[in-house]
Amino acid sequence: MAMNDSDPRTEHAANALRTEEIEQALAPDVDPAVWRRITEALAARAAAEDLLDVAVERHDSPFGPLLLAATREGIVRLGFPEEEDGFLDEIARRVSGRVLRAPRPSLSDARHQLDEYFARARTGFDVALDWRLTRGFRRDVLAVTAAIPYGQTASYGEVAARAGSPRAARAAGTALATNPLPILVPCHRVVRGTGVIGPYRGGTEAKRRLLALEAAGGAPGA
Amino acid sequence: MTGRATSRIGAVPRPTDMAPGAPSPRTSPPGSPSPPRSPSPPGSPSPSRRTSPPPFASVLEEHGRALLRFCISQVGADRGEDVFQETMIAALRAYGTLEDPAAARSWLFSIAARKAIDAHRAAGRAPLPLADPGRLADGAAVDPPAADGDELWREVARLPDKQRQAVALRFLADLSHREIGAVMRTSEAAARRNVFEGVRRLREDLTDPAD
C-alpha cells in the first residue's frame, strides 16, 4: 500500500480495498454542524414522544460549567464541574438510562435563576425540584436546610435538631455531603459551629465563595 | 414524592417486542435471534441487581455517527437521516431492556438494519437514490469524498441488498461476522460470504470501471 505514486486502479487490483476506502464509499464522515443539528432534532423528538426521562444541560457559572439534570418533575441533580466524569453514569444508574443532552423548561428556569443568584439579584430559588435522589433522614435534613435564609448559617447540630434528631450531627453531615441539589438546596449555609466552614461537595473554596457572595450585602431587591 | 421513578428500568417491552417502533411485525418475529443479548445466566439476579444500561447520551455519542453513516449507506443521503431518527427513537423506547451494555452497538445496528429494510419496502423498492453522497438532507456540507470514493459509492449502491448491508455492518458498524449473522438472521458463514462477496464486487468494479 506504500506506492502512492502508482495508478490507484492498479493499487486496487493489486491490493484489497483498504478499510477507510470502503468506509468512505459507504457513507462520508459526518460534519460536526450536521451532527449537532441531528442530535438536537433527536432530543426534541424524544421529548415530544415522552421518551426523555432526564434532560441534561451544562450551565456556565463563576465556578465553571455546572451540570443540571431534570426529570419531568423538576431538577433532580446539580453537579459541580469536578463531578462531570461520573455525572451521566450516576443519572443512568440512579434515575434512568433515558438521558440526553436536551433543553427542558425547568432547566431554563433554573439556569436563569442561577444567573440571577450569582449576580446577587436573587436570594431564593423558585424551581420545581425532584427529590428522588435522597430519602429518609437525609431528605429531612435537606428540607430544613432549604429553609435557612439567604446570608445566614446554621451548624450541623442545629440542622440535625431541626430535622428531629438533635444528636445526629454526624448523620446530618453525611446528608449534606450527599446533597443531590447543591446551591438550590443551600447546604453551603451549614457550617461547623466554631466558624470553620467545613467540607463541601464542590470543594471548600466553592463553599467559602458562596458564603462570601451571600454576605456581600444581599440582593438589591431583598 | 420520593422514588416515584417514572420509568423503571426493565419495565418496558423487550427489544424483540418493540411493536410501537417497528412498523413491520414480520421484521421482528418472536424468538428471533437478534438483537444480540448476553445470555441470561440461569437463576439470573433480580432485575434491581442487573447492571444498568449506560446513559443513552453516551451511547449516542459513542455509536451515533457510525450509525448515521450506516443508515446513509443503506438508503442514501436523503432518507438516511429519517432512518437514523426512527432507529434512535425505537432504541430509546426499548432502552430499559438492554441487558448487556457491551451489546449496545450490535443491538443498535440490528434495529437500524430493520428500519432500513422497512424504508426500502415503504419506498416500493425504488432504486437507491444515487444522490451526491457528500450532501445530507438539508444540503449542509460534509466532507466531499474523493472522486475515487464517489465512484466506489455508486458501486456500493448497486450491490445486492444483503451484500451492501453485510459490508456496511462489517466496516461502519465494526461488527464481527457472528454479530452480522445475528443482525441479518443468517448463519455466521453466510454473513462472512456476504461481506466477502460484497468487497470482492467492489474491488472488481473499481478495477474494471467500464462496468
Query: What residue segments make up the domains of chain B, in order of their start?
Result: 53-207
* Distance of residue A13 Cα from the nearest chain B Cα, in angstroms: 6
Q: What is the mean pLDDT of residues A183-208?
A: 87
Contacts of A21 in chain B (CB under 8 A): 148-149, 152
Q: What residues contact residue A112 under an 8 Å CB cut-off, 6+ apart?
A: none
pLDDT of residue B157: 79
Q: Is A29 a residue whose pLDDT tops 70?
A: yes
Q: Say which of A35, A89, A135 has its CB closest to residue B65.
A: A35
Chain A: residue whose CA lies nearest to B198: A22
* Distance of residue B51 Cα from the nearest chain A Cα, in angstroms: 8
Under an 8 A CB cutoff, do B55 and A99 touch?
A: yes
CA B147/CA B134 separation, integer angstroms: 11
Is the full-model pTM beyond 0.80?
A: no
Under an 8 A CB cutoff, do B73 and A131 touch?
A: no
pLDDT of residue B35: 41
CA A126/CA A142 separation, integer angstroms: 16
ipTM for the whole complex: 0.85
**Homologous superfamily of domain range B53-207:** PhyR, sigma-like (SL) domain (1.20.140.160)
pLDDT of residue B72: 92
Mutate to test the interface with A, among B4, B7, B161, B197 (most CBs of A within 10 A): B7
Please list the alpha-helical segments (H only) found in chain B. 56-75, 77-93, 104-122, 147-158, 161-171, 177-184, 188-207
Decide if B80 touches A, using CB distance below 8 A: yes
pLDDT of residue A15: 53
Contacts of B60 in chain A (CB under 8 A): 39, 42, 100
Given pLDDT bands bounded at 50, 70 and 90, which one contains residue A125? very high
Contacts of A135 in chain B (CB under 8 A): 2-3
* Distance of residue B61 Cα from the nearest chain A Cα, in angstroms: 9
Q: What is the mean pLDDT of chain A?
A: 89
Decide if B75 touches A, using CB distance below 8 A: no
Kindly list the averaged pLDDT for each block of 10 residues, start to end, along chain B of length 211.
Answer: 38 36 36 40 42 88 95 89 97 85 88 90 58 40 42 75 93 93 94 94 70 45
Give all domains of chain A, ordered by start, each with its CATH number. Answer: 136-215 (1.10.10.10)
Contacts of B51 in chain A (CB under 8 A): none
Q: Among residues of chain A, what percentage have pLDDT more than 90?
A: 76
pLDDT of residue B162: 92
pLDDT digits over A45-65, tens only? 999 999 999 999 999 999 899
Known catalytic residue at A146? no
Q: Is A6 a residue whose pLDDT tops 80?
A: no
* Residue B47: closest CA among B106, B6, B107, B98: B98
* Distance of residue B47 Cα from the nearest chain A Cα, in angstroms: 13
Identify any residues that bridge with B141 across adjacent strands, giving them in sequence order.
Answer: B135
* Residue A56: closest CA among A66, A43, A69: A69
pLDDT greater at residue B130 or residue A74 = A74
CB count in 10 Å sphere of residue B28: 20
CA A189/CA A145 separation, integer angstroms: 8
